Structure formats: C-alpha cells, structure tokens
Amino acid sequence: MKLFLASGNRHKQKEMQEILSDCEILIPADVGIDFNPEETGATFYENSLIKARALYELVHEPVIADDSGLCVESLGNAPGIYTSRYAGPEFMHGYPDGHKMPQNEQNENLILQLNATGSKNRRCFYVCAMVLLINSERFFVAQETFEGELIDDIKKQAGNGGFGYDPIVYLPQYKKTVAEISAEEKNRISHRGKAARAISDILKNLNKQV
C-alpha cells in the first residue's frame, strides 16, 4: 500500500518506512510537490490533522501526518508544538522573519533555559500525534509519549542516531541518550514508533474489512 507522509523530513520518512515496512512511504518531494502548510493548531493533534488534510487535497491518496515535539516539565511543557521553530526563550514561536535556528543552537538554548530556572526537575517527554487520513471524510488518530531527562550541559550531548533534540535527551533506564540507542530500539520505545504501530494496526484492520 502506498502512503504519503505529510512531511519534508527524510529522517521521519526513514523511521516510518522501517516501522510500516509493508507500505511504501512517500513524501511530497518524491512526487515534486512543494509542501509547507501553515500549522495554526493549538495542539499536536490539530496540527497533524491540518497537515494531513492539506496533503490529501494535493495527492488524493491516503496520508499519514504526525506532529511531534519535546515538552520540558519545568518550562511549562515548552517548547511543545513550537519545537521545530523554537529559537530560545525570547522566540518560543520562532523568529519573526521565519528564519530557523540551527538545531545545535536550539539544543544548547533549551538546556540553558532549563538551567536558568534552577529547577532540579529535568524530566521531559516527546509527544507524537499521528493521523491516518483515508479520505476527506474518514481519519484515525493515535497519540503517544516518550519520557526522558534533559542533560544539564551541551558538552554531555552524545550519539549520532536520531535527529533533533535526541542527543540531549537522556534515558536513565538505558544510561544513554536517545541518539545513542539503536534505530530498532528507538522505533520500539519512542513516541513516533508507538503511534506508528497503532496506525499500522488500524491499517491491518481496515484491510481485513475490504
């Protein structure tokens, strides 16, 4: 089955292809579509549905969309839905001109922002809200989380796997950052991996009904 992923992120495409191995996962760029919908939702779920509907209108094929982000408890669950645009405490929603801060700077700024609170609570969690849009009238949703702790010094970042904030999110039970665990292990325990498996189960049930 062919599924379009409402993202321009090749890392996400690779993760989804590994998890949904029975499907062919395409992103808009694979078919020459420039895709950058405005994410105006107030929640991960709302943004995911916005992206799914926007891409469906272009491809008229089943679409998977996810909106994911990192929430830091002591920062009021920021950066949350603004994770990809986060540019430090003064620009939580991103720079006004749309310029994106490099990921390594985002990582360091988030650590410094948490350190500045003086809080000993370094707990954080990823959220993934994933939508499977079959057609304009029918869709399914799965939302999952993945917990860890934010490291206290950018010099402690570790690992070459994953992407985004993965090198600075520490998993006490593994004594590793998210970027240090294998792709297979990450897909098994991560927010996106769990949500994708829930969507996979939905797809299997739908296929049985055909």
Known binding residues for substrate are 7-12, 68, 163-166, 186, 191-192
Of 166, 128, 157, residue with least CA distance to 43: 128
The whole-angstrom separation of Cα 164 and Cα 23 is 25
**124: helix, strand or coil:** strand
Which residue is listed with tokens 């948490």?
114
Helix 191-209 × helix 10-19 angle, to 10°: 50
Q: At CA 106, angle to CA 70 and CA 86, rounded to 5?
A: 60
Binding site: which residues? 7-12, 38, 67-68, 163-166, 186, 191-192
The whole-angstrom separation of Cα 55 and Cα 193 is 22
Which residues are catalytic, by number?
Answer: 67
In sequence order, the 6+-apart residues with CB closer than 8 A to the CB of 105 are none
**167: helix, strand or coil:** helix
Q: Terminal CA-to-CA distance of the chain, rounded, Å?
A: 13
